[in-house]
Amino acid sequence: MCSEKIMKISSNLIVLVSVFLLLISWVNSTPTASLQSFKQCLSFNSRISYPSSSFYTPQNSSSFFSILNSTAQNLRYLEPSKPKPQFIFTPLNEPQVQAAVICSKMLGFHLRVRSGGHDYEGLSYVSEIETPFIIVDLARLRSVDVDIQQNNAWVQAGATVGEVYYRIAEKSQVHGFPAGLCTSLGIGGHITGGAYGSMMRKYGLGVDNVLDARMVNANGRILDRAAMGEDLFWAIRGGGGASFGVILAWKIKLVPVPATVTVFTVTKSLEQGATKILYKWQQVANKLDENLFIRVIIQTSTGQNGTRTVTNSYNALFLGNAESLLKVMKKSFPELGLTRKDCIETSWINSVLFIAGYPSNITAEFLLQGKPFSPKSYFKAKSDFVKEPIPETALEGIWKRFLQEDNPFSIWNPYGGMMSRISESATPFPHRKGVLFKIQYGTFWVDGEKSDGKHIDWIRKLYKYMTPYVSQSPREAYVNYRDLDLGINKKRYTSYSQAKIWGEKYFKDNFNRLVKVKTKFDPENFFRHEQSIPPLRFYH
């Protein structure tokens, strides 16, 4: 008995000494030394050795930048002037993610977690307020386990939306999931912010169809819904990514889709009466048959006579056949002039490709590559929610501003249907009843960092111009379109009044409940970024 106690005490001393030595090495570390400390800690906590292929450092520049750039979509945050992580870790399984959290906390590493990299302000792979930092990239955790009999699926955080859709369609042509329109989104972070898509008017958002989750909390424990409790489960379904833990996997509820759906894209230029048609769309889009989703993609183009114009493309999914769609359109939105030749009857999985804008020769297997079809660019985007139709004269002011910019875009997504029947407080995502549509606007450019100021100034002016025509008190915004213009304080932590500026825009009255959940489950603010939910102790 005494020898067992001595052995236990000795073992504890070894652990304490090991931890002390690791901390000392971090305090005095070079990037190489900090990685070595991290590896030692991982091996100690998980009792396994880690392959060198799971770690990437700037010293191994070619593989490091390949991984860093792999899923990042905004070239603004890949410029040499932006801070780079000391290293990137790509875990292979859940226990490795768990060990990474434990060791990051033990060693004092500032952690950024990436599941997809689409975040508009690069918060999952750049830290501009706190360095040094490391990245845990979940790209290798991408299994999708579909159970058609139970109408659900477990999907790991690193799987893309397109992979999830493909694996569902692989098992059934009459099942789907109401998540994103962009197929290269990482499902882990996508759902944390809401996850809207072309079936939102029928079935709600991705977060409205989540049954369970697995996550690593700030103490390094792996929790499911039962273990985390309903408050934390509520917070992670719409409260924004990287505030409460590392999402490992979601259990999602599958929804029924017809064997045949119908899609179309009809484009109208200013010369074809685009302004009046869009004004009409605003009045009917949220009231249409909930099986019909018609978004508007607004861009500029050059006509045959060489002059620039603005075009509005009506991009739609109807959960039914073309004949039924035409009846709905004739009754509710005849101004668009939809004809049978505009309609394409197809399967739900192929409608995903169509809505995402893939060429007609691309097959569903492309979704398994987990990559976007279009090239990366420099961009800045913002969002708004609209509750009253924007007058035609104000639309004309938008067109005037669009024609002053090189590559502007705006996407207007209709609400109504199921979105109006779910309570604002059911999840942290509050933009529900009363919203006619959401606006995303942005601009992209290809001539590098030197042009950032010009284009960002343009979109800020457009955003200011839109102030009278969008939601008020607060002026709402979509958390998955992160916007660091919204009250960001460049310090490590923000005061309550400062955080509330962007917090209420994203979450309205749900912000205060999110703060309470954060204070309870991560009081030391281990999971943090420029717009993460801070605990109360950091409000001063």
The model's pLDDT over 84-116, given as tens digits with 9 standing for 90+, comes to 999 999 999 999 999 999 999 999 999 999 999
Q: How many helices (H) and strands (E) does the chain have?
A: 16, 18
Give backbone dihedrals phi and psi of 169, rounded to 5 degrees, phi first: -65, -30
Domains and CATH numbers, the chain: 20-137 (3.30.43.10), 144-256 (3.30.465.10), 261-346+375-469 (3.40.462.20), 496-538 (no CATH)
Catalytic residue among 481, 493, 496, 506: 481
Q: Rounded distance, CA 175 to CA 257, Å?
A: 5
Is the pLDDT at 122 greater than 90, yes or no?
A: yes
C-beta of residue 394 within 8 angstroms of C-beta of residue 469: yes
Vertex 347 angle, CA 342 and 350, to 5°? 80
The backbone region for 215, taken as left when phi is positive above 0, alpha when psi lies in -120 to 50, beta otherwise, is beta
Is the pLDDT at 19 greater than 80, yes or no?
A: no
pLDDT of res. 537: 75
- Tell me which range, 45-59, 367-381, 405-419, is most confidently predicted by mean pLDDT: 405-419
What mean pLDDT comes out for the span 128-138? Answer: 93
415 is catalytic: no
C-beta of residue 261 within 8 angstroms of C-beta of residue 344: no
Of the pLDDT bands very low, low, confident and very high (cuts 50, 70, 90), residue 538 is low
β-strand partners of 152: 147, 253
What is the per-residue pLDDT across 468-510, written as a single tens digit (0 to 9) for each?
999 999 999 999 999 999 975 555 555 677 899 999 999 999 9
Is the pLDDT at 387 greater than 50, yes or no?
A: yes
What mean pLDDT comes out for the span 230-253? Answer: 98
Cis bond before residue 359 (omega within 30° of 0): no
Q: Rounded distance, CA 42 to CA 36, Å?
A: 10
Give SS3 for 490. coil
Q: Rounded distance, CA 502 to CA 482, Å?
A: 10
Give backbone dihedrals phi and psi of 114, rounded to 5 degrees, phi first: -125, 130
Give SS3 for 213. strand
3-state secondary structure 461-476: HHHHHCHHHCCCCCCC
- The terminus-to-terminus CA distance of the chain in angstroms comes to 52
pLDDT of res. 30: 72
pLDDT of res. 303: 77
Task: Indicate the average pLDDT of the chain.
Answer: 92
Q: Residue 27: is it exposed, middle or buried by C-beta count within 10 angstroms (0-12/13-18/19+)?
A: exposed
What is the per-residue pLDDT across 432-450, written as a single tens digit (0 to 9) for each?
999 999 999 999 999 989 9
Of residues 381 and 47, which shows the higher confidence score?
381
Angle, helix 452-465 to helix 392-402, in steps of 10 degrees: 170
Instruction: Find, among 194, 161, 169, 197, the residue nearest to 181 by Cα.
Output: 197
Q: What is the largest CA-CA distance in the chain?
A: 94
